[in-house]
Structures are given as structure tokens and as C-alpha cells.
Amino acid sequence: MDLILCHTTADFDSLGAAVGLSRLLPGSKVVLSGGAHPPVRDFLALHRDEYQLIERRSVNPEKIRSLVVVDTQQRDRLGKTAEWLDLPHLQEIKIYDHHKEQQGDIPATELYVSSVGATTTLIVEQLQQQQISLTSAEATVMALGIHVDTGSLTFDYATPRDALALAWLMQQGASLSVLSQYVDPGLSPQLQQLLKVALEKLQKIDVRGQTIAWVILKTESFVAGLSSLAAQLVELTEIDTLLLFHESPVSDGESRLTVIGRSQTPGVNLNELFLPFGGGGHSQAASLNLRGVNAEEILNQFLETLKATVPHPPTARDLMSSPVRTIRPETTIAEAQRTLLRYGHSGLCVVDAQGQLLGILSRRDLDIALHHGFSHAPVKGYMTINMRTITPETTLPEIEALMVTYDIGRLPVLENGQIVGIVTRTDVLRQLHQEEGGEDGERGRRREKNLKSPKLEELQSRLAPQLWQLLTKASQAAEKRGWHLYLVGGAVRDLLLAKEATGTLLIKDIDLVVDGFHKAADVGAGVELAKALQQIYTTARLEVHGAFQTAALLWHKDPELDSLWVDIATSRTEFYPYPAANPEVEASSIRQDLYRRDFTINAMALRLTSPNSGKLLDFFGGLLDLEAKQIRVLHANSFIEDPTRIYRGVRFAVRLGFHLEPQTEEHIRYAINSGVYDRTARENSRAPALQTRLKAELKHILEAPYWKSALQLLGDLGALKCIHPTLSLDEELLRQLRLLERCLRRYDSQETLIHWQMRLEALIAHLASEYRGVVAKTLQLPDDSIHRLENLAKTQENVETLFAQTERGEAEISPSQVVQLLRQYDLPMLILIAVQSPRAIRQKIWKYLTVWSQVQPILNGNDLKKLGYKPGPHFRQMLNDLLAATLDGRICDRTEAEEFLAKCYSLH
């Protein structure tokens, strides 16, 4: 006998999942472990005969072969049927559940748990996979399970998978009239009376802006449907967290305590609150049943825990952007517009010479002035002077209230009379969105994909201890100075991708960003922090780069840290004066620092300092893109501003085994086909993104083991046009690159040449001869590379002219002629000639490099002197003639060599 067990006080989700499983497991029976919710009881009173339901008392335990448990992972929720879990002859125990955060104690042989809104959804997906159709009655009860457990898809833990499952059940014939009857059955007369009592007795407290309410109800007998009463209370009173206690006597003289919890407070997890007492559920909806306990004592314990759990609301200091872009009152409207365009702001603060706030100029103010032709006028005539300001400690609810009440789009943050930041509507909306939906504002997508931001301890377990110690010391130094410190970029990406808690990940390149917290972090903060670290790590070398004072600490073959590079900078923003230029960089906030980066997977930050150490900043969905294994660019114009990002995107995609997100690929193709790079190169002598920075990216790609795949993807995108507009990865170039690899393996197995550079030279050599030297100089290749590429055409012509005689049948070229020609060229030049030449010439070059170039004259200078020849410049010619005769087979031993000399050269 195969049985499917619903938990005690069965709800529609457990019943719907069980009914669906009875179709997946032909011959199985559904057992209600004990009781049911009132709507379920009423539903079964009419529909019981349509399902494979049997009574618990009718089951012979000896005949049970397997058990399937739905909608729970805990024994105590199975009532007396839990005894069957210990039967020695059971072949298997399966569990289907959607409470992923619960810790189960059932010894399951198979576990199917996923973070969806209803367990029934998991069963629907398996029915779809096996193409099993349902009756209308089966589809209806399963649809009820999803509707009720997800609040008809309105609860925040509902997912797109639940919606798709519901749509399929409707196609299978789920009855809408029955759904409407049981989805919201309303309160029974007894519950309506209790609702009146609950509203009178309800008590509330305010904890950091969140309303926590509770009520204790006592009745002479157990009352079913308390979850509906709790939902009604929350809806009527608009409280954030509710604890509904219900006491009723039981037969043995003890009292039964039922606790229903509902919460919309960020940070409050009711499942974790109830779990130590044997209860559980979701983070925002859970229940608990106890016997013989004091309700007041349990309530006080819960309230103390909730008070400690409710997070402090964000303050202006957490939300604000800093430093603030300001202008003087004499600034013209036209200049103010250019500033807004440059930084992408929607408004500007106007200050006097002492930095005192005078007014705010909005984009709307600018638009009106420009519309009326006052671009030359000073902004003081158009700014708003009746301003609302806030302090760094102003809380998010207070900020939201100010913006709504006064219809204000931005609030300057003042401290000691000085403007230290600004909070905009976007900042507020972003924070609210994150509270509802996780760091990237897409909670449903996170849940559907089972994504979770790892905790700090989990990330620490992946990283080599010596690196974590370095990060800890850096964060302590930053906290001492009143700053926040963030681990940003690729190191965060690699930590998240590591998954395993091995404690061995030794990242070679670490980027740290300092951001203001209690104290503003100025331009030199990165250098100051780096110097503080160098006092601890005395073997590290300190370098300071550029006007922005980015600091770097470098270790070389350190016994613990190996070869490590740590960049430390103050958070900054950047602006590209024209495409492919170097960006102009200015101090800014951590949000803007991440916003300036290239791809979402590189635009995440991990806070290392308190409070909230370990918090992952992911404003752009980078964690989702890691899960989806895709490279997604942050901005549509990103590739136009910086073409090296195309090469970086390809490099990340190939190295990580990811794909380019379709819209990102479209942006790449648009940028390449727009001709902007060619135009920029013509108009600007300095275009670093097409010069030094492009060469650096080419080096990263061409020296990597995956260079062929990366080059193929660059060719498919047409991105080699960044090197030169005429360069493309055609079949001939692919053939030459394959030949190049053979030549490098054959002639340079010891890697005396720089192989990535040879690959780059082969790419450039594929261009028309007049472009080769120009491109080599543009990419700032070494002088010998430039010279080689400039002279490649002439050299190749000389070689082909020599070998053309053989092809025309005029004469066979002797080995000595080949050696005389080819020995004047270095190995890289010969390799470039070989890959571009026909097979006959390649064979001659191969013979020269492997055989003929190794042949030496049979006699040397000392031998000539012993034979009586007087030393002098003619020795060189004599030895050359000996070598030529040896190569051509005219002499084979010492005797023949001496005879050859006697014949050709006299002793006097």
C-alpha cells in the first residue's frame, strides 16, 4: 500500500498536492492525518468521493509499502500517522514541500523542496512533465491549494511558477465558481464574534517605526479558522506584525494554546521565531500549537525577540549620495544644464562661497528657463529658496513623509550647517523596493531561482584565511577613521561563484572602495588606508596612481599572499569626454561607484565594515545574472564610451562559461556598426580605449588558454574592427592562426618568444601592408614588433622571389641559397612569413629552422690557422663557402673540406 499523508489540520495546499500525487502514483491513497481547516472540511463534505481518500483507522500498517508526506517536513505535524514513519519494512519515504527554510526531522529517502508559493505547484509541474491530464474535480482542489496558499498570487512569496501552474489547472477544467466559493469563504458567526473581541483587546507597540500587535483570546472550545481571523485583523488595523494567541481547554484538564503569526516587517522571520517551540511555516506566516503553557510568558518571550529583531530603519546617512554636486548662484542656465547632462542628475544644489545652501535648481526649472531663451541668465533667478532639509539621522519614514506631503523630489542633508549629502526620490524608491524585493528589487525572481545572498560567514569559509585576515585588518582601519569599506568587482563575483566552503580561494586581484560614513572620505582616503595597511604588511610595495590618488599594495611571491595586488580607492564616478577616451574621475558615493562599472556581475559590493558587515550591494541584479550565467551590461552607451568593455565582456563570457545577454549583444553590434570607433580614431590623437587599454585587453585574451574561443566570439560579433575597420576573422585568418600555433609548438617549445604577442602580430599581419605598422604603433607594440610588421611585405616578397625560380622550373634552389636568405631574419619574422606563405615555402622554412640552420662548417677558424692560412677578414668568406658546400652536399668530411679549401684558396 502506497500512502500520501496530509498534515494535521489539513489546508487546501496539502489536500491539493496530495490529490495531484495520487495521479502521479497510480494506486496510492490519500490519508488526512488529523482534522482539516473549516473550508477544507466543508469542501470535502461535498467532494470527498471524487478523490482517493481513506480513513487513518482503515489502514493496516503492516501493508504500508511507501509513504509520501506533503506540505511539511516535521513529524509532529503528522499526528498519529507519524508512527508509520518508523515501520521497519518501509521501502521509501518521500517529501514534497515548499517551506525551504524549515529544518525537517522525517527520515526521507527522497526530498523535493523548492521555494514556491504552494506545494501543489511542484506537483503540477511534474504532472505537466509527464503529460497527465486531470478531471475537473482534481484540477479544482489543486487550484484551491495554490489560490489559498498564495493569497491568489498576492502574497509576496508567490512566484511566476505558481501563476503558470494555476493557468494550466484552469486549462484542465478547474471550476471558477467553486474557487470563488472557497477562496474567500468569509468568517463564520463564531469568528465574527471573536473578531469583535479581538479588535477591542488588541494591543500595540511601535518598534523603530514598525507596529507590533498582539491579542490573547480565550474560548470554551477550540475554534477552527483562526488563520482567517488573523488575516482579517491585519487587513482592518494595518499593523505590521500580529501575534494572535488562542487558549482553549482540552479533555485532560490542560489548556491548548494556538499561536497564529502574520508579519510584513522586514527582518522578522516568524518561522525562526516559532521553530524552537515546535511550530513553523513561512517567514511571514507561521503557526504554533502548545499544551500546558502560560500564554503570557510565551507572549513576552516573543515580544522581546521581535523588539530585538526589528531592524533600525535606514537613515538619510544610509540613503544619501555624497559628495553633492553644487553650483554657485552666478552659474548660467546653460552651464547648469551641461553639469546635469554630465552627471545625469535631476537637480543641483546652489551654495555660496562658504558652502552654505542657498537653493535648489531642478531640471524642470532649467527646462522652463531654456524654453524662454534665458540660457545666459544666472541660476539664482530660477532656483527654489523655500527648501526642506534633513539631517543625517532623519529616518526613511520621515523622509518619505516629507516628500509626499510637500511633493519634494530631493532633500539636502545638512550637518553643522554644511551640505553633506542629498536624498532623492530615486534613493527612497530604491530602498523601498529593496526592502520588498531583496537587494536587487526582484524578490520573486530570486525566490523562483532559489537565489540567496550568502552570509558573511559563508563567504569567509570560501576564502583563504590569510586573505580574510587582510580584509579584516583593512576594515578595522577604515572603521577607526569613520569610513565604510567595500570589497567590490571581480573579487565579489569570484567569491559568489566559488560556492564551496573550502577556505582555499586565493584571489590575486582585490579592489577595495572607501566610502564616507561617520566622516566624509575625501580623495586621499584610499592612500591613507593603504599606508595604514603597509605598516602592518611591511613586505608590500605601495604605489599611488593618477590624480585621483588610487593606491595599490603589491606583494610578489609572498609566502602567504603569493603575488597579490590590492587596489584601494575612494568611491568615485566618471565621465567620458568623448568615446574611447580615458574617463574623468571625481569623488562620489558607493552607489555611483558601482554604477560606473561595466557589467552587472562586476557591479556588486560586499560591505566589510560595521554596521551591516557582510551586506551585499547589488543594485543591478548581478546575483541573478550569475545564476543565469549571463553577461549583462549596465548602460546602453557603455560600449560606445569604452570599446574595451566588448573585449572584457567576451573574456568574462568565455572564461566563466557564460553567454552574452541578448540585449547586451545588440548594444555591442550597434556600437561596432555605428562607426564611432573609426570616427573617434580620426578625430582624436588620444583614444586610449583603442590604444593602450585595447592592447591590455588583447593581452589578457591572447595569453589565456581559452583565447581561440574568445577570438571566435569577437570575430562573430565583428569586434576585431576595434583593432582596424578592415579586420575580420575570415577562414584565411583562422587558417593562419592554426598554422601559427603549429609553428610555435614546433619551433619555440621552450617559449622564448612572447606567444600572445605573436598571435597579435599574426592578426595585424592579416591587414593590408600599409595598415600594419600604423596599427602596431597605435597599440604601442615593442619597436621590434613594429619594425617586423612594417617590413613583413618586403621580406615576404624577397622570399617568394627566390622560391619562384623553382616554381617556374628555372633552377632548383640549393640549401645554401635558402640559408643565405633566411638567416638574416629572426624567428618571429620567419614564423609570420611561414603562416602567410604556400606550403612549398613553409616546407623550406621548416627545413631551414629544423635542419639547415643547425649545420656548421666542418672546419673552424682554428683549423684554418693549423692548415697555414693567415687570419683575417677572408676567414669569414672561407667559412661561409665551407658551410655552403657542406649544405649542398659537395663536401662531407674533413678531408674533402681541406681539398675544397686548397682548390679555392691559396696559402699566400
- Residue 765 pLDDT more than 60? yes
Q: Give the cell for residue 688.
A: 586610449
% of the chain residues with pLDDT over 90: 45
The predicted structure's pLDDT at residue 101: 74
pLDDT, tens only, 175-230: 988 898 888 666 778 888 898 899 899 999 988 888 999 999 999 888 888 888 88
In whole angstroms, give the CA distance from residue 45 to residue 187: 18
- Side chain identity at residue 472, one-letter code: T
Beta strands 347-351 and 357-362 are antiparallel
Q: Would you say the C-alpha torsion 667, 668, 673, 678 has a positive or negative sign?
A: positive
End-to-end CA distance of the chain: 116
Using alpha carbons, select from 605, 396, 620, 386 the residue that is nearest to residue 491: 605
The predicted structure's pLDDT at residue 49: 85
The predicted structure's pLDDT at residue 447: 39
pLDDT, tens only, 83-110: 999 999 999 999 999 987 777 889 999 9
The predicted structure's pLDDT at residue 236: 80
Quote the DSSP letter at residue 633: B
The predicted structure's pLDDT at residue 685: 67
pLDDT, tens only, 243-258: 999 999 887 678 889 9
The predicted structure's pLDDT at residue 386: 84
In whole angstroms, give the CA distance from residue 185 to residue 228: 9
Residues sharing a CB contact under 8 Å with residue 903, sequence separation 6 or more, in sequence order: none
Using alpha carbons, select from 456, 530, 526 the residue that is nearest to residue 496: 456
- Side chain identity at residue 551, one-letter code: A
- Residue 809 pLDDT more than 70? no
In terms of Cβ atoms closer than 10 Å to its own Cβ (0-12, 13-18, 19+), residue 653 is buried
CB 256 within 8 A of CB 248: yes
pLDDT, tens only, 703-748: 999 999 999 999 999 999 999 999 999 999 999 999 999 999 988 8
3-state secondary structure 219-274: CCCCCCCHHHHHHHHHHHHCCCEEEEEEEEECCCCCEEEEEEEEECCCCCCHHHHH
User: How confident is residue 411, by pLDDT bands cut at 50, 70 and 90?
Assistant: very high
Using alpha carbons, select from 281, 273, 259 the residue that is nearest to residue 74: 281
- Residue 455 pLDDT more than 80? no
pLDDT, tens only, 378-395: 999 988 888 899 999 998
User: How confident is residue 904, by pLDDT bands cut at 50, 70 and 90?
Assistant: confident
The predicted structure's pLDDT at residue 278: 84
Q: What is the mean pLDDT of residues 32-59?
A: 88
CB 174 within 8 A of CB 142: yes
Using alpha carbons, select from 484, 311, 315 the residue that is nearest to residue 391: 315
- Residue 466 pLDDT more than 60? yes
pLDDT, tens only, 135-186: 999 999 999 999 998 888 887 788 999 999 999 999 999 998 889 888 866 6
The predicted structure's pLDDT at residue 444: 39
- Residue 894 pLDDT more than 50? yes
Main-chain phi, psi angles of 191, to 5 degrees: -70, -35
435: three-class secondary structure by DSSP: helix
Q: What is the mean pLDDT of residues 694-705?
A: 94
pLDDT, tens only, 646-658: 999 999 999 999 9
Quote the DSSP letter at residue 871: P
DSSP string, 530-590: HHHHHHHSTTSEEEEETTTTEEEEE-SSBTTTBS-EEEEEE-EEEE-SSTTSPPEEEE--H
Q: What Å distances lie between residue 697 and 684, 740, 887, CA to CA? A: 21, 21, 45
Better-scored residue on pLDDT, 579 or 300: 300
Q: Give the cell for residue 184.
A: 474567500
- Count the alpha carbons within 13 Å of 569 in the hemisphere toward its beta carbon: 22
Using alpha carbons, select from 895, 789, 875 the residue that is nearest to residue 833: 789
The predicted structure's pLDDT at residue 120: 97
User: How confident is residue 581, by pLDDT bands cut at 50, 70 and 90?
Assistant: low
- Residue 518 pLDDT more than 50? no
Better-scored residue on pLDDT, 778 or 409: 778
Q: Would you say the C-alpha torsion 268, 238, 229, 13 has a positive or negative sign?
A: negative
CB 263 within 8 A of CB 233: no
Q: Is 877 left (phi over 0), alpha (psi -120 to 50) or beta?
A: alpha
Torsion of Cα atoms, 436 then 440 then 441 then 445, to 10°: -100
pLDDT averaged over the chain?
A: 86
Range among 335-349, 519-533, 591-605, 799-813 with highest mean pLDDT value: 591-605
CB 822 within 8 A of CB 845: yes
Residues sharing a CB contact under 8 Å with residue 358, sequence separation 6 or more, in sequence order: 329, 350, 351, 352, 380, 383, 385
The predicted structure's pLDDT at residue 549: 63
Better-scored residue on pLDDT, 574 or 318: 318
H/E stretch holding 6: strand 2-6
611 cis-preceded (ω within 30 degrees of 0): yes
Better-scored residue on pLDDT, 547 or 264: 264
Using alpha carbons, select from 552, 551, 663, 654 the residue that is nearest to residue 600: 663
User: How confident is residue 448, by pLDDT bands cut at 50, 70 and 90?
Assistant: very low
Q: Is 267 left (phi over 0), alpha (psi -120 to 50) or beta?
A: left
Q: What is the residue whose three cell numbers read 619555440?
A: 748
Beta strands 410-415 and 541-545 are unpaired
Q: What is the mean pLDDT of residues 758-764?
A: 96
The predicted structure's pLDDT at residue 228: 82
DSSP string, 637-678: THHHH-THHHHHHHHHHHHHT-EE-HHHHHHHHHHHHTTHHH
The predicted structure's pLDDT at residue 575: 53
- Side chain identity at residue 679, one-letter code: R
3-state secondary structure 767-781: CCHHHHHHHHHHCCC
- Residue 437 pLDDT more than 70? no
CB 73 within 8 A of CB 113: yes
The predicted structure's pLDDT at residue 807: 55
Residues sharing a CB contact under 8 Å with residue 706, sequence separation 6 or more, in sequence order: 654, 655
In whole angstroms, give the CA distance from residue 440 to residue 451: 11
Residue 205, number of CB atoms within 10 A of its CB? 12
- Residue 450 pLDDT more than 60? no
Using alpha carbons, select from 504, 492, 498 the residue that is nearest to residue 465: 504
The predicted structure's pLDDT at residue 445: 40
Quote the DSSP letter at residue 315: B
The predicted structure's pLDDT at residue 45: 84
pLDDT, tens only, 266-324: 778 898 899 888 888 888 888 898 988 899 999 999 999 999 888 888 888 888 877 78
Main-chain phi, psi angles of 645, to 5 degrees: -65, -25
Least trusted range by pLDDT, from 268-272, 569-573, 878-882: 569-573
Residues sharing a CB contact under 8 Å with residue 372, sequence separation 6 or more, in sequence order: none
The predicted structure's pLDDT at residue 498: 86
DSSP string, 168-188: HHHHTT--HHHHHHHHS----
Helices vs. strands in the chain: H and E counts, helices first: 38, 28
CB 715 within 8 A of CB 766: no
In whole angstroms, give the CA distance from residue 771 to residue 385: 60
Angle subtended at Cα 772 by Cα 770 and Cα 776, rounded to the nearest 5 degrees: 140
The predicted structure's pLDDT at residue 438: 42
In whole angstroms, give the CA distance from residue 399 to residue 430: 13
Least trusted range by pLDDT, from 11-15, 751-755, 765-769, 803-807: 803-807
